[in-house]
């Protein structure tokens, strides 16, 4: 097993806007966390990744070739996951009624994550079209 200090901690994947990418990304995050011996973050991390990536697939109406990107980073203190897409429309935290079939994803992120937020999308230190929605889970809080 590689230790945190011996290899890059940041993993990036690009996904086409397709519902299948959610399952694949969850699998990648699980493998990533196993590699870094951070399996205790798998359940909450994959749950929140699913919510953010599903939102990007459903709502980020972007042209072909504009992929969704995920970034995973684990440290001794936390897991950070970012989901970026080429839509400038920011997600809104909603208060779903008992009868609503949608609208609970960000509320779940707000409850489970230690921190979460949105930011303009950046590539190589430059602002580009789109946004990044991210969350962090403190390792001590999830253990």
pLDDT at 58 over 60: yes
Instruction: Give bridge partners of residue 65 from the DSSP assignment.
Output: none
Q: At what angle do helices 42-59 and 105-112 cross, to 10 degrees?
A: 150
3 state DSSP class of 130: strand
Domain ranges of the chain: 10-142
Residue with the larger pLDDT of the pair 127 and 69: 69
Cβ proximity of 15 and 67 under 8 Å: yes
The 10s digit of each residue's pLDDT in 117-139 is: 999 888 788 888 889 999 999 99
| DSSP structural state of residue 7 | S
pTM here is 0.85
CATH of domain 10-142: 3.30.565.10
pLDDT at 78 over 60: yes
Q: In terms of C-beta density within 10 A (0-12 exposed, 13-18 middle, 19 or more buried), how is residue 135 classed?
A: buried
Dihedral angle of Cα 30, 36, 41, 44, to the nearest 10 degrees: -30
The span from the first CA to the last CA of the chain, in angstroms, equals 20
């Amino acid at each position: 097993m590689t230790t945190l200090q011996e290899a890059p901690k940041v993993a990036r994947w690009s996904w086409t806007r397709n519902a299948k990418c959610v399952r694949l990304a969850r699998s990648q995050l699980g493998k990533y966390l196993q590699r870094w011996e951070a399996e205790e973050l798998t359940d909450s991390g994959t749950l929140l990744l699913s919510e953010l990536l599903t939102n990007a697939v459903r709502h980020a109406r972007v042209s072909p070739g504009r992929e969704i990107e995920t970034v995973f980073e684990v440290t001794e203190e936390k897991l950070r996951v970012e989901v970026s897409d080429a839509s400038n429309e920011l997600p809104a935290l909603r208060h779903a009624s008992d009868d609503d079939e949608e609208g609970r994803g960000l509320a779940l992120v707000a409850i489970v994550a230690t921190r979460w937020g949105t930011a303009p999308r950046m590539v190589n230190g430059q602002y580009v079209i789109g946004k990044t929605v991210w969350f962090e889970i403190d390792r001590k809080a999830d253990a």
